[in-house]
Copies of this chain bind each other. A is one copy, B any other.
Amino acid sequence: MPRPRNDTFLRACLREPTDYTPLWLMRQAGRYLPEYNATRARAGSFMGLATNPDYATEVTLQPLARYALDAAILFSDILTVPDAMGLGLTFAAGEGPRFASPLRDEAAVAALRVPDLERLRYVFDAVRSIRRALADSVPLIGFAGSPWTLACYMVEGAGSDDYRLVKSMLYARPDLMHRILEVNAQAVAAYLNAQIAAGAQAVMLFDSWGGVLADGAFQRFSLEYTRRVVHALMREHEGERVPCIVFTKGGAPWLEEIAACGADVVGLDWTANLGRARQRVDDRVALQGNLDPAVLFAPPTVVAAQARAVLDGFGSPRRADGRWGGHVFNLGHGINQHTPPEHVTALVEAVHAHSRALRRAT
């Protein structure tokens, strides 16, 4: 399996020298793009898109046709895994996801099993289809939700603003919570390894709700299971390293601990200062992030200035001691559906141009 012609993203993940800072955007194939909305209308629903490899391929490639992005990311959803476990996922119009059978009692938790990966075959088919369509232009990132983040949805049955049910279980019945997390960790590791086997050239774990946990609980109920997944991953496939990214929204307080979980890259939201973050981890991992997606509502000149500020915050990836730090530019969270698409053009140009200039200056 050859490296893609543009391997800047992979090199930055592995802290190898690069000519510029690569970028991709969380949720880059999404509702801010008119062509995405057109495909989604044809597919009928979000899961109609995600479960059809042709549609999934089409929308995955849409942002790459518009922008000089340095990676593609599989079009899918983190909730495919609990759906395959039999929890019954639906997306009601105008609402978020909902599970018909959330985990609310001991019997439901005891019955939880690692799903047959055959039920997720549409995902691996999509990975193969996207790889063919990309034709080794840029790498493809696979992904999954972290065991804790999946557990939040599986217990709450939907999004939540206080996480009352899942935190009640965590504090009152930690034994049940640990069982869910153990099953999730095994399922997520198997799921990501199957994505790698199908052709994903990097994988990312989204711990979207790790940051709602208290210090102490985060380490025991989120990070520990993320660590188990990371350690169970294939890190090389067909002779190439497969970088692993861990992103914890709100995880800045625990950066050093997250950086020690075995991942190659730690994703940061916009509350982190990249320069300080880099000092804290001493470039032992690469960093991904961290522009506030709300910056993209501002005019293109402001977008460019704010992008340059993020790059300047990280500084030159080349260190005085000859080693390289790694920086993958991204937003600190998914791109907002109200983003004007032309502002993304300004972002991509600014990141590529300014990061080349930074390297020349140092």
List the interface of chain A (C-beta within 8 A of B). Answer: 162-164, 167-168, 170-172, 211, 213-218, 250, 252-254, 270-273, 290-295, 297-299, 302, 306, 309, 313, 332, 336, 338
Contact between B273 and A215, CB atoms less than 8 A apart = yes
Closest residue on chain B to residue A338 by CB atoms:
B164
Contact between B294 and A162, CB atoms less than 8 A apart = yes
Contact between B336 and A270, CB atoms less than 8 A apart = no
Closest residue on chain B to residue A337 by CB atoms:
B162
Contact between B216 and A309, CB atoms less than 8 A apart = yes
18 more A-B contacts (CB under 8 A) besides A164-B336, A213-B271? A162-B293, A162-B294, A167-B292, A167-B294, A168-B297, A171-B302, A211-B271, A214-B271, A214-B292, A215-B271, A215-B273, A216-B313, A217-B292, A250-B250, A250-B271, A252-B252, A252-B253, A253-B273
Contact between A297 and B167, CB atoms less than 8 A apart = yes
Contact between A215 and B272, CB atoms less than 8 A apart = yes
Q: How many copies does the complex hold?
A: 2
Complex formed: what's the CA distance from A290 to B167 in Å? 16
Query: How many whole Å from A186's CB to the nearest CB in chain B?
Result: 27
Complex formed: what's the CA distance from A302 to B214 in Å? 15
Known A-B contacts A163-B294, A273-B215; the reply to A302 vs B336 at CB < 8 A is: no
Complex formed: what's the CA distance from A313 to B170 in Å? 20
Q: Which residues of B contact A253 (CB under 8 A)?
A: 252-253, 271-273
Query: How many whole Å from A279's CB to the nearest CB in chain B?
Result: 13
Contact between A299 and B172, CB atoms less than 8 A apart = yes
Complex formed: what's the CA distance from A271 to B217 in Å? 9
